[in-house]
């Protein structure tokens, strides 16, 4: 897969704005709503907004658009802060909240009423839908649209004071019910929500809508480039209408880019929450989830995610991105930076009958095949070792390059051995392989000229450490799990998690720090679990295999 950076049309816009003098400094913002954990699509938005500011010597604000207290929580706020930091970005100044601007937004709502550009409407939700019209038919004016300014001001003040029930009244902009753009058909500015807010408590019982608040927040903060995903393109005329009809000091501009839609993935917060609520996954940070915290726990690196976002580019069109591109970026990063180690996930004991029972030989092994700066480690070699059960057969054809009775194989960074016979249990299952070492083959080929068939990993049975290894795969087995009207739950991959509790690791791995990544030789890339791993109870998560197994 070609590793190149794709285009970014937004950079061209910013360069033109700086060169023409339209702006003297770039100020962007990342404005998540704290109603769930961030996912891979948000990672792209983070990279776009923070990255463009960084590349142009500018700044990027982190602002929570917390206008819907029913679905928001402090837990989500904390997770988002952690995600942005982990991806390697720093925001400008203090963390900002839309709720900090509630008084100013309300004052501007009053201003719109005073100018005859907003009114209080009593239509309930069903009536409002009927009056709104359709994509092919214009809407109808609300019977409350021509209320006097004085009456609207009085009703708005009483809404704010909590006199009315939820859904009883809303404040709407007075624009054009016949507009071909549905967003311009007298959109709601304020609705009644008698719910405590995680930042403002019970100070407010009316809350601004996202459409009303968003552009004005940008204006307050002096944002030069308000960058959002393409589904907000039809909202831009409304964004501009508010800016034009309010006495703002700064006039930001909105730009849209294509959102990230990876294959084999869902990015709907509602559906991700359903996976959590129904116990399909263990939580928002389950390593199978496309959330940033889930990918982090899976062993994905910030550098790889940033590289992936760079590879796919920033364009004006939506489309599905092959998730294999993300996996390629992960493999490339870990191949270069992850130290090597040996682990046996499906163990089979091998007894080297010619090796002394009490002997321990410490063999030196590089931590990386080409990076000398990573140093080396020592591996204990003993009479009894574990190899992977798939690396042994009693009989095999010439294509099988592992251990076979009467044949030889090299143990990684150790001796060549030859299998002699097997031991079985009462059910006929192989419990042990008895073998012998070939003399003088530590780092050398056999003196008799009979070369080994291949190279396999191994772990000392007496000095290795038993561990839990969680084998993760894609959560969905369909490339578009939420396409159409089908149930995305029907495409859950039943093999997305397999737990192995009797894996064996080389001893140094138990000292790994949580989130430390390794290549388990011939197995794939693994990470010490962020929460569960300890020296007493090692737990490793499979990040990704050495090669793409979904390509067939």
Which residues are part of the catalytic machinery? 33, 259, 269
- Report how far residue 27's alpha carbon sits from residue 265's, in angstroms, rounded to the nearest whole number: 32
Cβ neighbours of residue 73 closer than 8 Å, sequence gap 6 or more: 34, 35, 198
The neighbouring-strand residues paired with 378 are: 364
Structure tokens at 437: 């070492």
Structure tokens at 111: 């201003």
Cβ neighbours of residue 220 closer than 8 Å, sequence gap 6 or more: 101, 104, 248, 250
DSSP string, 168-206: T-EEEE-S-TT-SSGGGSS-EEEEE----BTTTBTS-SE
Contact, 80 vs 64, CB < 8 A? yes
End-to-end CA distance of the chain: 16
The neighbouring-strand residues paired with 466 are: 504
Write down the residue that tokens 């000292």 correspond to: 511
Of 372, 375, 341, 364, nearest in space to 505 by CA: 341
Q: What is the largest CA-CA distance in the chain?
A: 104
Structure tokens at 128: 């409002």
């Amino acid at each position: 897969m070609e590793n190149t950076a794709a285009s970014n049309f937004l950079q061209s816009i910013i360069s033109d704005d700086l060169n023409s003098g339209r702006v003297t400094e770039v100020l962007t913002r990342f404005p998540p709503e704290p109603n769930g954990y961030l996912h891979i699509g948000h990672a792209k938005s983070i990279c776009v907004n923070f990255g463009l500011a960084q590349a142009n010597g500018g700044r990027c604000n982190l602002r929570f658009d917390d206008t819907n207290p029913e679905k928001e929580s402090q837990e989500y706020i904390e997770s988002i802060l952690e995600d942005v930091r982990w991806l390697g970005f720093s925001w400008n100044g203090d963390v900002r909240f839309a709720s900090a601007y509630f008084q100013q937004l309300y004052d501007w709502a009053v201003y719109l009423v005073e100018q005859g550009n907003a009114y209080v409407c009593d239509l309930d939700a069903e009536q409002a839908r009927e009056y709104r019209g359709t994509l092919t038919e214009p809407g109808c004016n609300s019977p409350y649209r021509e209320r006097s300014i004085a009456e609207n001001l009085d009703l708005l003040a009483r809404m704010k004071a909590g006199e009315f029930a939820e859904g009883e009244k809303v404040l709407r902009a007075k624009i054009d019910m016949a507009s071909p753009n549905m967003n311009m058909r007298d959109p709601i500015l304020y609705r009644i929500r008698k719910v405590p807010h995680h930042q403002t408590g019970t100070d407010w019982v009316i809350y601004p809508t996202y459409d009303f608040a968003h552009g004005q927040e940008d204006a307050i903060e002096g944002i030069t480039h308000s960058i959002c995903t393409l589904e907000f393109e039809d909202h831009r005329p409304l964004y501009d209408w508010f800016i034009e009809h309010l006495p703002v000091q700064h006039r930001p501009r909105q730009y849209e880019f294509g959102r990230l839609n990876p294959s084999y993935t869902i990015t709907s917060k509602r559906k991700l929450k359903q996976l959590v609520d129904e116990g399909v996954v263990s939580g928002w940070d389950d390593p199978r989830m496309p959330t940033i915290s889930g990918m982090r726990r899976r062993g994905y690196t910030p550098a790889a995610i940033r590289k992936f976002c760079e590879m796919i580019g920033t364009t004006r069109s939506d489309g599905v991105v092959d998730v294999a591109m993300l996996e390629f970026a992960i493999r490339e990063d870990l191949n270069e930076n992850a130290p090597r180690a040996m682990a046996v996930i499906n163990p089979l004991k091998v007894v080297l009958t010619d090796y002394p029972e009490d002997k321990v030989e410490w063999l030196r092994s590089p931590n990386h095949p080409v990076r000398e700066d990573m140093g080396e480690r020592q591996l204990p070699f003993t009479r009894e070792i574990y190899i992977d059960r798939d690396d042994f057969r009693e009989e095999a054809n010439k294509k099988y390059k592992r251990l076979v009775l009467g044949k030889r194989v090299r143990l990684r960074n150790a001796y060549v051995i030859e299998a002699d016979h097997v031991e079985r249990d009462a059910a006929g299952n192989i419990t042990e392989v008895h073998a012998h070492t070939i003399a003088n083959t530590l780092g050398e080929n056999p003196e008799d000229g009979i070369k080994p068939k291949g190279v396999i990993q191994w772990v000392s049975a007496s000095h290795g450490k038993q561990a839990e290894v969680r084998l993760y795969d894609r959560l969905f087995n369909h490339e578009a799990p939420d396409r159409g009207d089908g149930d995305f739950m029907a495409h859950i991959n039943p093999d997305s998690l397999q737990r192995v509790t009797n894996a064996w690791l080389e001893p140094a791995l138990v000292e790994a720090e949580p989130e430390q990544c390794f290549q388990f030789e011939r197995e794939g890339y693994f990470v010490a679990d962020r929460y569960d791993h300890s020296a007493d109870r090692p737990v490793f998560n499979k990040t990704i295999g050495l090669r793409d197994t979904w390509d067939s």
